[in-house]
Amino acid sequence: MASPLRLFENGSFYHIYNRGNRKQQIFLSYKDYERFLDKVAEYKKKLNVSIVAFCLMPNHFHFLIQQLSPNTISKFFSDLCNSYSRYFNTKYETVGTLFQGRFKSKLVDKDEYLIHVSRYIHLNPVELFGPSKNLVNNLLAFKWSSLQYYLSPRKNEVVDTKVVLDYFSKKNPAEDYRKFVISNIQLPAYSAIEHLAFDE
């Protein structure tokens, strides 16, 4: 029996995340990341959600997302995770649950938290690089997060960068955001959003 849809408030923003069952890797190849993001784009077109930020890590993912119509967040992640699980199990000839239960959600209940949650999500790859003189360059070049869309003038159909960039200067919001993300790059998340961070 399918689990009942969880209720989310229209117009509200949420930090959504999930990881592999028993912390196993959920992305094993370049093609796996591409497949997941293709499905993100597909289901975003079908369902009325706004994706503000995302990051795909080897064994988990993060999204900052806004619901615009009833039940669309639940439907989006249910369809996304079920579709990707079928793909993964078929490709790697595995069975059973890929993800560690249902996705987790935390309401971003203050406007000022939006930019800090987006920064927290975009800094996730730092843990992959270890001590490195090229830490900033590695982060800015990371392919599997939405940070690239914030720093590029190219339009995209997946991520709504305007929600966050509107908090920065009108002259060059992308550059201001870049500086905001990489400032104190190795420090913990802004303490005021600890309750919105990934549960270990």
Task: Return the pLDDT at 188.
Answer: 65
- In the chain, the number of structural domains is 1
Return d(Cα 125, Cα 138) in angstroms, integer.
9
Does the residue 181 lie in any domain? yes
Task: Return the pLDDT at 196.
Answer: 77
Does the residue 158 lie in any domain? yes
Does the residue 200 lie in any domain? no
Domain that holds residue 151: 7-192
Does the residue 197 lie in any domain? no
129: tokens are 């690089």
Task: Return the pLDDT at 1.
Answer: 38
Does the residue 2 lie in any domain? no
Does the residue 199 lie in any domain? no
Does the residue 198 lie in any domain? no
Walk along the chain (200 residues) in steps of 10 and give the mean pLDDT of each run: 67 96 96 97 95 98 96 95 96 93 92 93 91 86 95 86 93 94 78 76
Does the residue 72 lie in any domain? yes
What's the CATH code of the domain at 87? 3.30.70.1290
Short-list 6, 5, 4, 1, CA closest to 106:
6
